[in-house]
Amino acid sequence: MARVYEVGELMQVAVTQKERTAQSTQDSARAAIVFDEPTVLSALERHLRQELGSEVEIEGLERKSSGFSWITYSFGARAGAGASRRLILRVGPPNGLFAPYSVLPQVHALQSLNGTQVPVPGLVSFDQEGTALGCPFFVCEHVEGDVPAPWAGSKLSEEHRRDIAGQFISILGELHRLDWRGTELASLHAESGERDEVRAIAGWCASLARPTARYYPLLDWGGRWLLDNCPSPPRRTIVHGDYRIGNFLEREQRITAILDWELVHLGDPHEDLAWALMPTFNGRSRKLYGVVERNEVIERYQRASGVQISEKSLAYYEAFALYQAAAIQMRAVRAFEVDKFNDMRMAVMASQMASIVRAFDRALEAAV
């Protein structure tokens, strides 16, 4: 039986004066970090000059609006008399959705998957300490392609979406086949003896236990149930953590890169499959990308990965997917209301909680 985490008790912990002082210090630090274009440009030039050992000219720095967590910029960089390279800067803001940030999971993923059948951008450099910008960031290669919007899938032909969905399933199978031992991602393995998948679930429980203005008893109870009933994985694999339509680049009907590795961990492959099948990421359809039936997805995934899917484990992780979605919604609300992260999309997320909690209730009944 998994360890019992007293999530509900954490909700009642009083905030001490020491914690208030620490929070005040953090707020001051957040206020001191400015992400205007001149500041980012200057910091980026200093960082790349140090990394490359030569003068660097930054061209066309542009902030991208997509994404709910990391701040993303595209730019060109020319070192000396060399040709300009198109690059991407990703910054973990101190008041962002998943703050405090670490670049290491994404860095390890890009390092470990380079040259495999799982397409990822090439890593250029990173700064975990945030020396140049005041917070962690990394730089990677720019990959050509567009991010598909699940809700706009109807604008594409069914043949196009089926082709992309097939690639999407095959790449997930390749990811779950890879031996993570001996790669940089091996550092994610818990040496304490605690199961990696249980540790990941406990992280979301702790996230929901953070003091907020809202409390959902079902999520409290459901988090305990998930921890106590976590199934053993068929094998421990690399888990992307946010593998879904919308987290890859597509060009000329080919997936060119899988993106957003910030939640990567080691765990049960059922987790990625359950997350990918959520209607939220498929234009509200129960079919993958609105075209591939659930049974076909499972069959194709099993062939690609060599993993035999357990319906019981998949039902468990479908419940967990909704629990995780609730935790992300609450983190977004906190980031906007408490940490003053200026993204109006996060402000409306609280309105979605009721429907997520109801869906989680139904999923728990199916998983028990």
Outline which parts of the chain fall under CATH 3.30.200.20: 34-141
What homologous superfamily is domain 146-367 in, according to CATH? Aminoglycoside phosphotransferase (APH), C-terminal lobe (3.90.1200.10)
Residue 79: pLDDT band by 50, 70, 90 thresholds? Answer: confident
Mean pLDDT for the stretch of residues 127-139: 93
- Residue whose token pair is 């720095």: 61
pLDDT (0 to 100) of residue 350: 64
Centre a 10 Å sphere on the Cβ of residue 357 and count the other Cβ atoms it contains: 19
Residue 13: pLDDT band by 50, 70, 90 thresholds? Answer: very low
pLDDT at 214 over 80: no
Outline which parts of the chain fall under CATH 3.90.1200.10: 146-367
Q: Each residue of 148-162: pLDDT tens digit?
A: 876 655 678 999 999
Which amino acid is present at 266? Answer: L
User: In the numeric block, which tokens belong to residue 313?
Assistant: 């484990």
Which amino acid is present at 148? Answer: P
Buried-state track 168-201, b at ≥16 Cβ within 10 A, e below 16: bbbbbbbbbbbebeebbbeebeeeeeebbbbbbb
pLDDT (0 to 100) of residue 5: 40
Write the class of the CATH domain 34-141.
alpha beta
pLDDT (0 to 100) of residue 24: 40
What average pLDDT does the structure give for the chain? 86
pLDDT at 290 over 80: yes
pLDDT at 20 over 60: no
pLDDT at 187 over 60: yes
Q: Each residue of 302-350: pLDDT tens digit?
A: 999 999 999 999 999 999 999 999 998 887 777 666 656 666 566 666 6
